Homo-oligomer: A and B are copies of this chain.
């Protein structure tokens, strides 16, 4: 049985390992222990912010998935709240089993519960599998996502 819950500090090594176990993540993350201080600081900032929800999917005590939801107030759409989903990962040995879909379904329930009337996310243009996945779940790829490193 898979359950979903807010992440705890003890989940952090498993979460970072999933972020690193990915073609894009491998080049930019460092899952070695003890974890770099940046990860610990970021966890504390997320954990302390009521508009951030870092979550894990757990089965039999093992963390097998993660995602982060940011609940964003904005004036657009007559003051609508948006849920923004980031950093979605499923443990490599559990992929293609429908866990990703259950995670997104769960995230959408959280967004509804917080009064959001829009859910948004971006994916790298190279992640063709992810595009098919989100389109199947009813997302529309209506936007271009721009980034600039500082």
Contact = CB atoms under 8 A, between A and B. Distances in A.
A39 B120 CA distance: 20
Contacts of A96: none
A73 B147 contact: no
Nearest to A39: B79
A25 B146 CA distance: 20
Interface string A83-120: 00011000000000000000000001001100011111
Contact of A75 (B54, B76, B148, B149): B54
Interface string A116-143: 1111111111000001001101111111
28 contacts: A19-B76, A28-B76, A29-B76, A38-B80, A39-B79, A41-B79, A43-B75, A68-B75, A70-B72, A75-B87, A76-B87, A108-B148, A120-B122, A121-B146, A123-B144, A123-B146, A124-B142, A125-B142, A135-B146, A139-B146, A140-B146, A140-B147, A141-B144, A141-B146, A142-B146, A142-B147, A143-B145, A143-B147
Interface of A: 12, 15-16, 19, 25, 28-30, 36-43, 45-46, 49, 51-52, 54, 68, 70, 72-81, 86-87, 108, 111-112, 116-125, 131, 134-135, 137-150
